[in-house]
Amino acid sequence: MTNKDKVDYLRNYHWTLENIKLINERLERGDKYTNKEDLERRLSHALKSKDKIESLIHGIKDERLALLLELTYIEDLPLDSVAERMGLSYSRITKLHIKALNELKIS
């Protein structure tokens, strides 16, 4: 998997959160157009996807790299804000971002 593919995969985190929210809303109101079992199956799949992304990020041994990915993909901060928050230059954070992506093992 290329680093671009990894970025695309990680960016799905926020879409997955939104999907979880929408499915929960449909379950709560008793959506008459969708089978409850189908909604529960979709919810389970979305929760597993969310958990997998979080586990991948938190599974990186270098805490600094894990924090960089967490701020970028879970907290949805742009790299310049991540650099500022971590007290690093933008140039350094982009190099660390590449290193973090290289450490990420997505199967």
Structure tokens at 22: 């929408």
What's the pTM? 0.86
Q: What is the pLDDT along the chain (107 residues), one digit of tens a residue?
A: 999 999 999 999 999 999 999 999 999 888 777 788 899 999 999 999 999 999 999 999 999 999 999 999 999 999 999 999 999 999 999 999 999 999 998 87
Structural domain span for residue 24: 3-103
Domains in the chain, number: 1
Structure tokens at 92: 């350094």
User: Residues 87, 81: contact at Cβ < 8 Å?
Assistant: no
Beta strands (DSSP E) in 1-107 are none
pLDDT score for 106: 87
Structure tokens at 81: 């804000």
